[in-house]
Structure 1
Amino acid sequence: MTTYDLTGRIALVTGGAQGLGQGMAQALAAAGAKVMIGDVKAEGEQTAADLGEGHGYVQLDVTDEASWTTAVQHTVQQLGGLDILVNNAGIEITSLLTEVEAADARRMLEVNVLGTVLGLKHGLRAMRPDGPAGKGGAIINMASVAATIAFPGIAVYSATKSAVDRLTRVAAMEAGKLGYGVRVNCVYPGLVPTEMGAGLANDVAQIGLFDSPEAAVGAVVELTPSGRLGEVSDMADAVVFLASDAARFITGAGLPVDGGMGM
């Protein structure tokens, strides 16, 4: 019998102050988990307050080792453990390959790849049997449909999300072989009209790839068999599933939640 009940479990969601991360935090809380919002943005404190009593916020720069140490310690001490980690924080900077700025490429690599690496490191250390949480758990990383399609203007972003997929699979293998009791999976979100998604549509139009942001969105919908953009709830529900006992025999997998765009 399957269940999506997360009562008694503790989750840390990076980039949880807004957008997809906020929706994931809300869905996890609705399923019964206590949620720690980890974000560089102070708005995360209000997001946590809106979740209600028993949740929290910690400032987290995912590119900084010491920040991860503090965030995990804070989660374990304040909420009582760590069973679910959602490595959601990420950035996208649109550019044609001929115009890529090294600083922009480094920033995406730091947040999207290094941030996931450090999340896996500290999440696994906390959840494994000798860790401060010590009960195993689930780690869900955010890849992207951009890792599976050749969409113009997002080459570096696409590369970083492909890296997240590979990190997920190796982490799942290591966690299994070493007896950590931690499942590691990733989600491939399709385009969602959050602030980041709307920014991408504007940016690809601005650099001349499409006549307008609306044309860019139309191109995405045209590539999507389901015939629409994704919604925050589509991605959030997938995270709850992968965090739950319904996914107890799933690890090392990439779950497309893209309406078929990346098939």
Structure 2
Amino acid sequence: MSLSFREHYVAVIGANGVGLSRCDARGKTWLGSAGFIADRQSTATLALDTLQRLLTEHVKGRARLSVLLSSHYSRFGLIPWSDHITTPDELRAYASAYFDDTFGKSAEAWTLSLSPENAGLARIAVALPEALLSRLRDVVKALGLRLVSVQPYVMTAFNRFHKSFGDRDFLFVVAEPGRSTLLLAREGRWSAVRSLRIADSDAALAAMIARESELHGLNGDKPVDLFVHAPARHTDAPLILGVQTLELPADQADTQDPLHIMSRAVN
């Protein structure tokens, strides 16, 4: 690795704000966050403007940057296995057709990523707006930084907590402010992924989990383990019967900021 890129920063782009932390041998240092108010059409633009201001203020010189994206910016799908798909290009076209069928054709371009799975297994697909990614790359390049990863927060959280699930069947819910995303795994394979707007309350979370459990038959002879991670509620963790809450460690600085907590999911 080039010595000129020794410093590493983690940016969290949320639905209404952007946060930034620095990672080094001593650990993670929270640098702060900035909020913004936008309608749906201008959210990504204002988010990246805000990120640019934070990076300009806090990053001096060349550095690496990892970006965590709220599920508000992402689309998710479960792509079934098909014996007729034989090349990566065919798989990408197959996944693109799935998103068109699910969300409708869009004039906006999306970039697709698929989870690596063994033959015969369904894959989780994530779609991110190409306009957001392109502008992000431009911002990072203009500041002389190296963009090392862009990942939906739900996947970062899963990677952080996956040891908690073991080899068991599980339903994992990441409850961000205003939107929850769930991952369901059964018999060692992905079974469902969904992301939907819900209120930030135990009652809303419990109702959603109950609906998904009924929809996927999770209350039968082989019930799954239920987990929820709510980064914005680290001082008021969800208390739902039968559901285990997974929390990230906080530190002494600015622990009331959910973007700060989210940044700590990066190992």
Quickly name the TM-score band, shorter chain normalised. Answer: 0.3 to 0.5
- Tell me the TM-score normalised to structure 1 length: 0.35
> Which structure's residues are more often helix, by fraction?
1
Which has the larger strand fraction? 2
With structure 2 as the length reference, what TM-score do the two structures score?
Answer: 0.35
Larger radius of gyration: 2
